Structure 1
Amino acid sequence: MVFFLLDTINEIYGRKHARNVILIGSLSLLFASLFIYLSINLSSIDQGSGEHYNFVFSNLPYLFVINALCLLLADGINNSIYSRMKLYSNGNFLLLRCLISIVFGQFLYSVIWILLFFGAELGWRELLGYVFSNYLFKLLYSFFVCIPLTFSTVIFIRYFFFNRAVIR
């Protein structure tokens, strides 16, 4: 869904605003990671519940740091490709811009996330299988949910807030 939001922000407000959303999102994930890490390392009154709490939340700080990195890199690439295509196409071909930027952004996101989160635990064959299945799921989800949602949202915003429903 982040790609949908970024493409919509980029289309309506421009690349700089979308880049700011990426930076704010990454910083938010890093702060959440820090506070979860700190809360895991606090002493617990009840030793039994502390173990359960640590079991549930122990991987979250690392997962949030990985997602912050993915957000910076993959969403940054998605944003850059989208805005360059918007410039070169004179604002035309919204669906094509969404499609191409998502294809590259989702691939990079899948590779970074899978390699960093599972890289030490799995062999290359399993890692490639995870990357491929994760990427395929994200592409299908993007094609059937995110791209139509981006298109509809851009039309809605342009029509109701800017009084121009032109999509090229």
Structure 2
Amino acid sequence: MRAYRYLDFITALFVVVLIVSNIASTKVVLLGPFTFDGGTILFPLAYIFGDVLTEVYGYKRSRRVIWTGFFLLILATLTFGIVNALPTPPDQQSTAQAFSAILGLVPRIVLASLVAYWVGEFVNSYVLAKLKIATQGRWLWTRTLGSTLIAQGLDTGLFLLIAFYGVWDNALLWTVFVSNYVFKVGVEALFTPLTYAVVGFLKRAEREDYYDRDTNFNPFAVR
């Protein structure tokens, strides 16, 4: 595989956004008419990075980045869980309680986050790659928004159902789903000019504009 100047940097940004978003999601926030978990403020950037990766470097390289983020998210979660389970000195009980409240993630939320991320990111990359072939590389906005409309719906719906179905009443689940979905898609649309600029810069700098015409789209493929 070719060496690229900026692929490692984008991968690092992607993983940081992913992990910080999951930490921030422990708090439910209000922003104007929207009600959502705090991670929603930053998490849409992960999909924008996913769009950029697939558009410039192709699905195969995006697959590697998605799996990298997946395993590092597991590592972060396991670290928080182990630290939370270890005993605390008596004079540090208040600190331990604060840590547990923020980072002592319950297994159901962890499972929801991992499943939603995995499904959403792979669907986003797959749809964008297929649309790039269908549009012959034209109309980038149709690919970024089209893939986001599908993938964010799956991501948001899976996370809320796995994490909170039966815990929150259905009315609250629906309210949070609509707020999250509208906000995430809105951020994608708002950032479209920036996405165009970044994609254009990377295509010139990397001398790459990959088309997934003969790609194996199996997310578990290792070659």
Contact 1:11 / 1:154 at 8 angstroms: preserved in 2? yes
Contact 2:152 / 2:184 at 8 angstroms: preserved in 1? yes
Shift of 1:7: 1.1
1:135 matched to which residue of 2?
181
Contact 1:36 / 1:60 at 8 angstroms: preserved in 2? no
Contact 1:14 / 1:83 at 8 angstroms: preserved in 2? yes
Contact 1:6 / 1:79 at 8 angstroms: preserved in 2? yes
What residue identity is the alignment partner of 1:92? R
1:158 matched to which residue of 2?
203
Contact 1:4 / 1:149 at 8 angstroms: preserved in 2? no
- What is the SS of the residue equivalent to 1:121? coil
Contact 1:32 / 1:64 at 8 angstroms: preserved in 2? no
What residue identity is the alignment partner of 1:103? L
Shift of 1:163: 9.3
Shift of 1:10: 0.8
The C-alpha deviation readout for 1:1-60, integer Å capped at 9, x for no partner, is 111111111111111111111111111111111111111000111334323322232227
1:94 matched to which residue of 2?
140
Residues 1:10 and 2:54 are matched in the alignment: yes
Contact 1:10 / 1:79 at 8 angstroms: preserved in 2? yes
Shift of 1:72: 0.8
- Give the unaligned 5+ runs of structure 1: none
Residues 1:78 and 2:104 are matched in the alignment: no
1:44 matched to which residue of 2?
88
What residue identity is the alignment partner of 2:145? L
Question: Structure 1: how far apart are the matches of 2:97 and 2:55?
Answer: 47
Q: 1:163 to 1:133 in 2, by over 3 A?
A: closer
Question: Structure 2: how far apart are the matches of 1:54 and 1:9?
Answer: 35
The C-alpha deviation readout for 1:56-86, integer Å capped at 9, x for no partner, is 3222765444322222101111111001111
What is the aligned-residue RMSD (CA, Å)? 2.0
Shift of 1:114: 1.7
Q: TM-score w.r.t. structure 1 length?
A: 0.87
The C-alpha deviation readout for 1:138-163, integer Å capped at 9, x for no partner, is 11111102x22221101111234429
Question: Structure 2: how far apart are the matches of 1:148 and 1:127?
Answer: 32
Shift of 1:106: 1.0
Q: TM-score w.r.t. structure 2 length?
A: 0.67
Contact 2:57 / 2:208 at 8 angstroms: preserved in 1? no
> Could you say which structure has the higher helix fraction?
1
Contact 2:152 / 2:185 at 8 angstroms: preserved in 1? yes
What residue identity is the alignment partner of 1:83? A
Contact 2:56 / 2:208 at 8 angstroms: preserved in 1? no
- Give the unaligned 5+ runs of structure 2: 1-44, 210-223
The C-alpha deviation readout for 1:110-167, integer Å capped at 9, x for no partner, is 111222222232122221111111101111111102x222211011112344299xxx
Aligned length: 163
Question: Structure 2: how far apart are the matches of 1:163 and 1:88?
Answer: 19
